[in-house]
Structure 1
Amino acid sequence: MKKSAFLVIVALLGVAHSAVHFVIEDQMIGDLHTKVLRNTKTGEYAQIVTDLGGRVEDLVLQDKHPLHKKLRSVLLTHNKNATAIKENAWWKNAILFPYANRINGGKYTFYNGSYQLPINDATNNNAMHGFLENKTMKVENQTVNEAGIILKLTYQFDGKDTGYPFHPYVQLNHMLSDAGFEIYMQVTNMDPTEPMLFYVGWHPYFKCPVYKSVITFDRQCNKWAHVLLNNHAIPTGVTESFTGFNGGTVIGGTLNNPTHYDDAYKAINNPDVILCTSSVLRTTLYDPEADQTVFLHQDRFPIIQVFTGIVNATGEQAVAIEPMSAMTDSFNNHDNLQILSGGETWSGAVGIHVQ
């Protein structure tokens, strides 16, 4: 049974302080402040860069195999290089807000207002991945007990970001427990009278021998559509049925040149499964060399972008499997776009465990 982020939070907050094997440590990487959430019993930890949008810089988890329980370094890192962390040329493990992926030409309209976002995808002349990546988060609260850790980070947008004159209050709860790692996200429109728009994504790069590895989409309650893109990486509005990433085939290609993906996929409710109402999806990545499976849980994130291009670009063996709460360019196509009235709140979650 899939457990929602809300139940995990309740469990973490509701356990008495006894036999605690979790700690939070403050660590610097150069001049960058980080928080390390550590499970001293298992050796698992997550390192969060609070100075840069609550980014997950490092994540090590133990698999749940009853015999070997091996630790796995799950995500690509910048190897403790503060300069590389700040530059983050490939958006490693960043939280993407108030838009994920690309906005066509950086332009959109909202309630008769026209806006121009900064162009940072020069190749395609698009705005990409939002503003939170470079914001310093406030450490609002730290909760540690025998069930795990919650690190609560917040940021209040002031409406001064170019092309985005809105006032979202963003809350990220980074959680480490014996069950794995999770990020619970909450967004509130702090303007009491005016609506705002946004969507959010996460950009994790999962370490694996890419060409040998197997991605499996969750088909328990859903079918999948492949989203067709134009030559500027913007959705055309056309989708096609997608039966790949079904656990039966590897990504393919070669070690240094895996099959190229920079593709978007959308989960579509399967009308033949009438009893499924959950908003939670589970995407898996199987690494045959380690004989380990990484599980990516997505609550209210129905879009996935798969990207293998970092192998050719940097030589690093990893695949990005990016959950998004709405479609690329949803400021214009409105596909799953979140619009909040004054004072309204949206929430969702992503999580990882290893087996």
Structure 2
Amino acid sequence: MQKGVLLVIVALLAMGVAHTTNHFLIKDQMIEDLQTKVLWNTATGEYVQIITDLGGRVEDLVLMDPSQQTLRSVLLTHNKNATEIKENTWWKNGLCHPVSIWKYTFYNESYQLPINDIPNNDALHGFLVSKPMTVEGQSISDEGAVLNLTYQFDGKDPGYPFHPFVRLQYTLSVSGFEIHIHVTNMNPTKPMLFYVGWHPYFQSSVYQTRITLDRHCNKWAAVTLNDHLIPTGITHLFNGFVGNDEIGGTYTTPKYYDKSLKAVGTYPDSAECFPNEILYTRLYDSETRQTVVLYHYKNKFPIVHVLTGIVSATGEQAVAIEPMSAMADSFNNHDNLQILSGGEIWSGAFGVYLQ
């Protein structure tokens, strides 16, 4: 009996030791009346906070800078102010679709989206950004923490009578942070259209920031926008953002960018270039000497939008670099627009790490 008890104790201790090697955890945390999930690496202090009540927005992301062995707050936050989170004037870190003209036609049916950008008469960022998400599951392992959130559209959103089922998978690992998006058309008889993007604001001293677009296998085209931020269809080869020059301007008034860029012209003579290659967009802050890397799959998110305007508007130092599955206003211009038949599934991913 004593030997049996001893074996049980040894087994329990072994289980405890094994458990302590897993440094990842997931915990619930409230921001006033808002429910959030925090994925945490207790060994490094890295974490990501996700607002489950509002479309799975990323409220905070802290990662380890391997070059300096210090923790860095990567994204702008709302400083745990629930009112500001709900107002979300600058659409910080939400999953959404970009700007659209408020009306469009699909299979000879006309639809009208609600206008929420009155000066430009535009419909901004879609419906998911404000939806209450369902926690479908979560898990931890030695490799990381994974959270799955879902939302089923019921076809009652004004101007968007479709039924996508959206699954968002968030992963915090030793390699960084990643979001994987799955969209399924749940209407078996009716096609649906959609596009999606992420609207992260990366903390950086903007006028001293250097952006590097991935040109390993790609050229980039700049898209001309009209006065209402709608693409005109006119593009030209873009040779900027090569990492040599800072954005420029001053600390309080950096050079203004509100620019859509599309990866084009994969070089066919290179055996290293594939349609599903990963694009790496780098943001280097000359003041802190830290590099943020945003990665996204070219065949899923071929477009990035760069915005520096938040500095003059709020005084916050950050650059928005938005990976987008389709061009702004793709409900009308159809540039990379996704159309799913009944039961069809689309998926794509992007992520962030420090270099």
Q: Could you tell me the TM-score, scaled by structure 1's length?
A: 0.92
- Could you list the per-position Cα deviations for residues 218-270 of structure 1 after superposition, in whole angstroms to 9, with x for gaps in the alignment? 11111000000111111111100000001111111100000001110000033
- Greater Rg over alpha carbons, structure: 2
For 1:103 and 1:195, the matched residues in 2 are separated by 20
Aligned twin of 1:3: none
Map 1:260-299 to 2 at 5 A.
260-275=256-271, 276-277=273-274, 278-299=276-297
Query: Percent of pairs identical after alignment?
Result: 64
Tell me if structure 1 keeps the 8 A contact 2:98–2:196: no
- Return 5+ residue gaps in structure 1 as ranges: 1-15
Aligned pair count reads 334
Deviation by residue 1:135-161 (Cα, 9 ceiling, x = unmatched)? 000000001011001100000000000
Indicate the SS of the match to 2:326. Answer: coil
Helix, strand or coil: the match of 1:176? strand
- 2:76–2:92 Cα contact (<8 Å) kept: yes
The 5 A counterparts of 1:188-207 are: 188-207=184-203
Q: Which residue of 2 aligns with 1:158?
A: 154
- Write the letter of the residue equivalent to 2:35: H
The root-mean-square deviation of aligned C-alpha atoms, in Å, is 1.1
Question: Which residue of 23, 26, 29 maps to 1:24?
Answer: 26
8 A Cα contact 1:18 1:145, kept in partner: no
Structure 2 letter corresponding to 1:287: D
The residue that corresponds to 1:171 in the other structure is: 167
Match of 2:35 in 1: 33
Question: How far apart in 2 are the matches of 1:144 and 1:89?
Answer: 34
Is 2:114–2:158's contact at 8 Å kept on the other side of the alignment?
A: yes
The one-letter code matched in structure 1 to 2:60 is: D
Aligned residue for 1:54?
56
> Following superposition, which runs of at least 4 residues in structure 1 exceed 2 angstroms of deviation?
269-275
Q: CA deviation at 1:173?
A: 0.4
- 1:308-327 mapped onto 2 (5 Å cutoff): 308-327=308-327
Name the CA distance, whole Å, in 2 between partners of 1:243 and 1:272.
Answer: 20
Q: Which amino acid aligns with 2:42?
A: T
One-letter code of the match for 1:183?
I
Query: Offset at 1:134?
Result: 0.7
Tell me which of 137, 140, 160 is aligned to 1:141: 137
1:101 is paired with a residue whose SS is strand
2:289 & 2:215 partners in 1: Cα distance? Answer: 22
Q: 1:111 aligns with which of 107, 113, 116?
A: 107
Post-superposition offset of 1:121: 1.1
Q: Kindly state the Cα deviation for residue 271 of structure 1 after the two structures are TM-superposed.
A: 3.2
Quick check: 272-281 or 283-292, which moved more? 272-281
Within 2, Cα distance between the matches of 1:125 and 1:273? 45
**For residues 199 and 262 of structure 2, what CA distance do their matches in structure 1 show?**
16
**Displacement after TM superposition at 1:17 (Å):** 6.6
Q: Please tell me the residue identity of whatever aligns with 1:267.
A: A
Cα distance in structure 2, aligned partners of 1:59 and 1:279: 25
Which stretches in structure 2 are left out of the alignment for 5+ residues?
A: 1-17
Cα distance in 2, alignment partners of residues 225 and 163 from structure 1 = 31
The alignment status of 1:217 with 2:213, answered yes or no, reads yes
- Counterpart of 2:49 in 1: which secondary structure? strand
TM-score, structure 2 length as denominator?
A: 0.92
Residue in 2 aligned with 1:81? Answer: 81
How far, CA to CA, are the matches of 2:19 and 2:179 in structure 1? 23
